[in-house]
Structure 1
Amino acid sequence: MEESLSLDELLQYYRKAMEMEEVDPAVYSPLVLAYIGDGVYELMIRAKVINRGSMQVNKMHKHSAMLVKASAQAALIQAIEPDLTPQELAIYKRGRNAKSATVAKHASVIDYRKATGLEALVGWLFLMGQYQRLTDLVSEGLKRTGLMPHPEDNARKDEGDKTDHEI
């Protein structure tokens, strides 16, 4: 039987198996940090959604999509911004202010830029190996915004009573 690896050990194993060099996250542009952060954040949200119980995959996708859209990410970063360290705030602002070749399709420019800043911060925390800090910030942001209510909160509501932000 294979030994279970911690997240740190898994990522070290992955880098070795994939022949990837260690790179200081500070050398990456804010948009590269946002690129990896987008994937990490999506994975975190999907894991949270499937943990809420079995449901049809299209419903899981709908719930996940609602939580990863720019307006939801903008709300999340606004909720946790006061808790950011000076270094985290600087990373967020670099991402938010980065000039992107893509444009917001279904979001305001302000929300899109804030979301890019959040994704840059998520990417940086992930690449720095600060998984606990990353998890704490995302979890706290979801709680403060009400984007991901606790399962017992949903049990008390009828399906028709839920707001656009609740799943």
Structure 2
Amino acid sequence: MKFSQFKLLVDMMFTPDEQGGIKKCYDGVDVRQMHPLVLAYIGDAFFHLFVRTRLLSYEQAKVHALHAFSAQIVSAVWQHKAYLGIEPM
């Protein structure tokens, strides 16, 4: 990502609203009208949080290894492998 794109996103994230809070551009959007890639992005974030929580129940000292392993599990390749494993069910 170019720095200009990064700066634009940061500026948009912290734009104040009329009440002094943070402006929400997509508040009240119908989920059924959202682009599938946006839904996949949200799903990956939720799945990543789930995986990290599960891994922390087994190991807490090796954070770098946990990060690398959780990123691998959440990857599209591993999600595809998991899907193939449960597809027959």
> Which TM-score applies when normalising by structure 2?
0.60
Counterpart pick for 2:86 among 70, 80, 88 = 80
- In 2, the alpha carbon distance for the partners of 1:54 and 1:66 equals 18
Counterpart pick for 1:31 among 32, 37, 40 = 37
1:82–1:29 Cα change, 3 Å: farther
**Residues 110-166 of structure 1 deviation map (CA, whole Å, 9 limit, x = unaligned):** xxxxxxxxxxxxxxxxxxxxxxxxxxxxxxxxxxxxxxxxxxxxxxxxxxxxxxxxx
Q: CA RMSD in A?
A: 2.3
- How many residues align? The count is 67
Counterpart pick for 1:54 among 51, 60, 70 = 60
The structure with the greater share of residues assigned to helix is: 1
**Residues 65-110 of structure 1 deviation map (CA, whole Å, 9 limit, x = unaligned):** 2211222110112223345xxxxxxxxxxxxxxxxxxxxxxxxxxx
1:73–1:51 Cα change, 3 Å: same
> Which TM-score applies when normalising by structure 1?
0.35
One-letter identity of the residue aligned with 1:22:
G
How does 1:1-167 map onto structure 2 within 5 Å? 21-83=27-89
For structure 2, the 5+ residue unaligned runs are 1-20
- Give the 3-state SS of the residue equivalent to 1:64 in structure 2: helix
- In 2, the alpha carbon distance for the partners of 1:21 and 1:65 equals 29
If asked which structure has higher relative contact order (CA below 8 Å, sep 6+), I would say 1
Between structure 1 and structure 2, the one with the greater Rg is 2
